[in-house]
Each structure stands twice: as C-alpha cells, then as structure tokens.
C-alpha cells in the first residue's frame, strides 16, 4: 500500500479514459470504472460499438480492497463496462444518476447504488476524512439528442475533516458538452481547486458531437476558472476525434485561467488547495 497523501491533499491515479483512483486520507474513490483491454469493444447504446485503443493502467484485481465508493457519471460502456460489472463487489456503494442507480440495482444487483438528482449530495466518512459528493448539471448531447443518451452528471467532491470546513474541492465534468448549466456551476461552486475535464470530442455517426472537444473544454475551464485542470477521456476509443494536443494548444492562449496538469495513464498526481504537490508513476495497490 502507498502512504496516505499529505493532510488536506488528494492523490489521483489516472487509470485511463475517465477512470481515476482518488485517495484523501483514508478515503478511496473510483470514478467511471473502465477496465476493458485494448482491442475490446465498448457498447455505447443504440447498436453503437467503439474499440478501445489503449490498455488501462490497472486491472480490477489491482484495486485496493477497501474502496469506499464508485462515483459514476453515467451508464455507458466506456464508463461502466462488463469487466467492472463482473469484478466489483455487489456491496460496493455507487454514487450516480437516478437512471443508472435503478439499472444497477434492478439488473445487476448493486444494492448500494445511490441515485442523486442534480444538486443533491451524499456524504462519505472514513477515519478522519470526509467527502461530500454533489451531483452537478451535465448534458451529453445537443438539443433533443440528449434524450437519446443516458442521463449524465458532473460531480463536486468536497474533501475535509468530518463535520469541518472544506479543504479541497474537485470538480469532475462527466461526459458533458458546454451548455448553460456550466455557468450555473460557476455561480454556485466558486473556488474549485481542480477540474477533471472529460474531453475527446466524441462523435457519433453523422459527426454528432457528444463530449467536449478542445475548444469546448477550454470554454468550460474559462467559465469555471479552477486553479488547475486535469484532462482525461481523450484518446482511449475510436469515437474520440479531438486529441489532447488540441486542448493543450487552447490552454496556451492568452488569458487561460488555469494551470494544466500532465498526468499520463498509469501515473499519479497529488494536489492540495494550492496546486499540485507531486507526480509520479503508479504502483498497484496489491503488487
């Protein structure tokens, strides 16, 4: 086991796609578990498949045995896959959308899946650490197309001492496009220390954009003005058409408000309210 992050800091290990292992004190969270191997296909609904291009940095068997919860933005095959469904314990808490929680409980037996309507929250405590998870607005597709896709949520993770002040504030965008709800987040959730932004410019047949490309991602960051931004979800699948390099170029434009963290797949970054503390290669929890 790796040592706990410094007090008030969180360690994020980038597994691949939108999958992060987040540690704060004794708390451990997993986001959008996607453990398909390179070459395998994820089912995206409506008969659409996409082939994985990159190998995840960890296997389900490498995860720590004391996970506190999964934070799941929505129910798509590149965010909750058949490997996660078969390999994760049915008793594991999952914080997600009401749509996903109903399916996880009713079809897959994950009895502790909790569905959060937008702006509702759920608190987890372990030892001297607490996280409040708040569901934030997200929109997966443009206009009426959004109703054909599974509902998606962003997440605000507020870490601190149990019953105490917030020490670290993380925003996870989920598979959203830039839309007016982002400005609502900016108004109600100021002082975000780190924004984890799902990019990739995912396009469906016909060229329909359903996740932020580089320009939309930069616009979202400019609206929220987090201190740091960590890009994820940009090159794992064939449907992703906007590379990370495009976002880096957007982030270099004058007036861009946030520092960009570079955390390649399989590495980790430790952040506190002031910024990044350290980065380095990942090590499996159970070598």
Task: Report, as an integer, the average pLDDT of 196-223.
Answer: 95
pLDDT at 109 over 60: yes
Share of the chain above pLDDT 90, in %: 86
Facing residues of 94 across strands?
70, 113
Full-prediction pTM beyond 0.85? yes
**What's the CA gap between 191 and 171, in Å, rounded?**
10
Q: Which of these, 149, 156, 172, 151, lies nearest to 100 by C-alpha position?
A: 151
Structure tokens at 245: 């390099």
Task: Give the pLDDT band of residue 285 (cuts 50, 70, 90).
Answer: very low
**What's the CA gap between 285 and 74, in Å, rounded?**
26
pLDDT in tens, 2-52: 778 999 999 999 999 999 999 999 999 999 999 999 999 999 877 789 999
3-state SS class at 222: helix
Structure tokens at 277: 């503390």
The predicted structure's pLDDT at residue 46: 74
Residues 156-167 as b/e (b if ≥16 CB within 10 A, e otherwise) read bbbbbeeeeebb
pLDDT at 78 over 50: yes
Share of the chain above pLDDT 70, in %: 95
Are 264 and 14 in contact by the 8 Å Cβ rule? The answer is: yes
**What's the CA gap between 212 and 234, in Å, rounded?**
9
Structure tokens at 9: 């800091």
Are 26 and 129 in contact by the 8 Å Cβ rule? The answer is: yes
Are 184 and 224 in contact by the 8 Å Cβ rule? The answer is: no
Distances (CA, A) of 228 to 48, 81, 168: 34, 29, 12
Provide the angle, in degrees to the nearest 10, between the axes of the packed helices 214-224 and 180-188. Answer: 30
Query: In sequence order, what are the residues at sequence separation of 6 or more whose Cβ sits closer than 8 angstroms to the Cβ of residue 263?
Result: 12, 14, 230, 269, 279
Q: State the chain's maximal CA–CA distance in angstroms.
A: 50
Task: Give the pLDDT band of residue 148 (cuts 50, 70, 90).
Answer: confident
Distances (CA, A) of 135 to 38, 96, 192, 236: 31, 8, 15, 25
Facing residues of 205 across strands?
none
Mean pLDDT value across the chain: 93
The predicted structure's pLDDT at residue 48: 86
Are 184 and 142 in contact by the 8 Å Cβ rule? The answer is: no
**What's the CA gap between 75 and 97, in Å, rounded?**
9
Query: In sequence order, what are the residues at sequence separation of 6 or more whose Cβ sits closer than 8 angstroms to the Cβ of residue 22?
Result: 10, 11, 12, 13, 28, 29, 30, 31, 157, 170
Residue whose pair of structure tokens reads 């909750």 in the numeric block = 80
């Amino acid at each position: 086991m790796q040592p706990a992050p410094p007090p008030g800091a969180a360690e994020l290990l980038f597994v691949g796609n939108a999958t992060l292992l987040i540690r704060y004190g004794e708390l451990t969270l997993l986001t959008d578990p996607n453990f398909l191997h390179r070459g395998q296909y994820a089912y995206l609904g409506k008969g659409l498949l996409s082939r994985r291009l990159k190998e995840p940095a960890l296997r389900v068997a490498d995860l720590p045995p004391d996970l506190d919860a999964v934070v799941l933005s929505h129910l798509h095959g590149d965010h909750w896959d058949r490997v996660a469904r078969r390999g994760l314990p049915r008793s594991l808490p999952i914080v997600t959308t009401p749509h996903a929680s109903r399916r996880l409980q009713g079809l897959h037996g994950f009895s502790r899946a909790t569905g959060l309507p937008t702006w509702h929250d759920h608190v987890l405590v372990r030892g001297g650490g607490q996280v409040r998870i708040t569901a934030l607005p997200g929109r997966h597709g443009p206009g009426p197309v959004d109703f054909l896709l599974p509902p998606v949520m962003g997440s605000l993770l507020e870490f601190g001492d149990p019953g105490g002040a917030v020490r670290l504030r993380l925003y996870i965008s989920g598979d959203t496009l830039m839309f007016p709800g982002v400005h609502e987040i900016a108004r109600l959730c100021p002082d975000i220390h780190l924004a984890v932004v799902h990019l990739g410019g995912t396009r469906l047949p016909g060229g329909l954009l359903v996740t932020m490309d580089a320009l939309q991602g930069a616009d979202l960051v400019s609206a929220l003005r987090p201190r740091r931004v960590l890009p994820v979800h940009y090159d794992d699948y064939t449907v992703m058409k906007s590379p990370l390099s495009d976002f880096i170029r957007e982030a270099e434009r004058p007036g861009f408000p946030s520092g960009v963290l570079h955390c390649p797949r399989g590495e980790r970054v430790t952040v506190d309210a002031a910024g990044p503390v350290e980065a380095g290669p990942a090590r499996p929890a159970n070598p």
